[in-house]
Amino acid sequence: MNWDKVRAVIGKEWRDAFRNKMVFFSLVFMPLLFAVLPLIMLYFMGQSPPQEVSGDDLGPFLLYQTYFGLENPLHVVMVGMASIYTIIFLMSPLILPMMIASDSIVSEKVQKSLEPLLATPIRVSELLLGKALAAIVPAVLATWLAYGLYGALAALFLPGPVVGVIFSPDWLVGIGVLSPLMGLFSVCIGILISSRVNDTRAAQQIGGFVALPLMLVFIPMFLGKLALTAVVFLLGAVLFLFLDAGTLWLATAIFRRETILTRWK
């Protein structure tokens, strides 16, 4: 593996990506929205008079009352909702890298700038690794910064038990370990799609379905059957580790530089 070539690909990808205003604003404003909107909802939820929330209203949030040892029913509900909102921060590394990765190869095909790159003595693995890292790094950093901002603002406006859960080892494992692995999976899917289609919008629309399975997690959470704990996040990390290995191998296997060089119209 020639890391100089990988770094060169990353630099080129970032120059191209950040010229695209849509990509740039998505990396900036989407994570900000993910940080601010849940905070606003939790803040107004916390303004409810304590007598309006009783133990009978906890429903699916009883799991959180037991797991975190909470006594105040309002705090239990807020912690439960905050846990659901955490999924937004897991969607971010799925959505943001896809926007960069799916645009990468397709745009270069359309602009006829991919052929000169493929004609250079660079391995397919080096090329795809550079493209993958170029998409993952800014998306994951944006997710981490947004979560840090979310936690910092929560410390100013939300009750202590809720803030303690936000900075608990459970959520730190989810955001710190699981989100990069999910981002890599998204990028690999984006490369697979963009290697086979010739339209950027089509690549992004197809790639958008990657986030749909994550939405299924809402169902057991709303039914009170699943709490997002460190064990759940670690199991998810193991799953995505295998998915990443498989999709990365498949992306490298089906990427045919000879076909692009000789047949792309």
Of 87, 123, 83, nearest in space to 255 by CA: 123
Looking at the predicted structure, is the pLDDT value of residue 264 above 50? no
Looking at the predicted structure, is the pLDDT value of residue 230 above 80? yes
DSSP strands (E only) in the chain: none
**The pLDDT value given to residue 238:** 92
Looking at the predicted structure, is the pLDDT value of residue 246 above 60? yes
- 78-110 tens-digit pLDDT: 888 888 788 888 888 887 777 776 666 656 555
39 vs 61: CA distance, rounded Å: 19
- For 232, other C-beta atoms within 10 Å of its C-beta total 16
- 112-166 tens-digit pLDDT: 555 555 556 667 677 777 778 888 888 889 889 999 999 899 898 888 888 888 8
190 vs 194: CA distance, rounded Å: 6
Phi-psi region of 239 (alpha: psi -120 to 50; beta: other; left: phi over 0): alpha
pTM of the predicted model, to two decimals? 0.80
Enter the tokens of residue 175.
């955001």
